[in-house]
Structure 1
Amino acid sequence: MARGPSYDDGRFAAARELGARQGGVLSRPQLYALGITRWEIRGQVRIGRWQLVGDQSVQLHNSELSPRGEMWAAVFQGGPRACLDGGSSLIAAGLERYELHPVRVSVPRGARVRRSRRFNIRQTRRWEVTDIVRTDIPRTRAETAAIRAALWARTDREAAYVLTITVQQGLVPPTALGEELLRIRRDRRRLLLHEIVNELLDGARSLGEIDVVRELRRRGLPPPARQVLRRDGRNRYYLDLYWPDYGLVLEIDGIHHAWAENVVGDALRQNAVMLQGETFLRLPLLGLRLRPGDFFAQVEQGLRDGGWRPAAA
Structure 2
Amino acid sequence: MSARLPLDSHAIRRAQAAAAEQGGVLSRPQIYACGVPRWLVRREVVMGRWVALDRQSIAVHNGPLEPRGWWWAAVFAGGPRAVLDGASALVAHGLQRYDVARVRVSIPRGARVRRSSRFDIRHTRRLVADDRWPGGGVPRTKPEIAALRGAWWARTDKEATYLVTVAVQQGLTRPEDLGRALLRVRRDKRRSLLHELVNDLLGGAGSMGELDVLRLLRRRGLPEPVRQQLRRDSSGRYYLDLYWPDYRLVVEVDGIHHAWAENIVGDALRQNTLTLHGDAVLRIPLLGLRLQPERFLDQVEAGLRAGGYRHAA
TM interval, short-chain normalised: 0.7 to 0.9
Matches within 5 A, 1:148-297: 148-204=149-205, 214-220=212-218, 242-243=241-242, 248=250, 250=252, 269-275=267-273, 279=279, 281-283=281-283, 292-297=296-301
**TM-score w.r.t. length of structure 2:** 0.75
Q: Please give the secondary structure, in 2, of the residue aligned with 1:154.
A: coil
Q: Verify the 8 A CA contact 2:225 2:243 in the aligned structure 1.
A: no
CA displacement 1:163-183 (0-9 Å, x = unmatched) = 111122221111211111110
Which residue of the partner structure matches residue 78 of structure 1?
78
- In structure 2, how many angstroms separate the alpha carbons of the residues matched to 1:215 and 1:99? 33
CA positional deviation for 1:293: 4.7
CA positional deviation for 1:36: 0.6
Residue 136 (1) aligns with residue 137 (2): yes
Which residue of the partner structure matches residue 27 of structure 1?
27
Identity score, percent? 44
- In structure 2, how many angstroms separate the alpha carbons of the residues matched to 1:296 and 1:188? 31
Q: Verify the 8 A CA contact 1:75 1:84 in the aligned structure 2.
A: yes
Which residue of the partner structure matches residue 55 of structure 2?
55
Q: Please give the secondary structure, in 1, of the residue aligned with 2:22.
A: coil
Which structure has greater helix proportion? 2
Q: 1:133 to 1:72 in 2, by over 3 A?
A: same
CA positional deviation for 1:253: 12
CA positional deviation for 1:5: 2.8
- In structure 1, how many angstroms separate the alpha carbons of the residues matched to 2:54 and 2:98? 25
Q: 1:215 to 1:53 in 2, by over 3 A?
A: farther
CA positional deviation for 1:98: 1.7
Q: 1:213 to 1:280 in 2, by over 3 A?
A: farther
* Structure 1 unaligned spans of 5+: 306-313
CA displacement 1:144-163 (0-9 Å, x = unmatched) = 11111111111222211211
* Structure 2 unaligned spans of 5+: 219-223
Matches within 5 A, 1:118-137: 118-134=118-134, 135-137=136-138
- In structure 1, how many angstroms separate the alpha carbons of the residues matched to 2:227 and 2:42? 65
Count residues in correspondence: 288
Q: 1:7 to 1:299 in 2, by over 3 A?
A: farther
Cα RMSD of the aligned pairs, angstroms, is: 4.2
Residue type of the alignment partner of 1:217: R
Q: Please give the secondary structure, in 2, of the residue aligned with 1:26.
A: strand
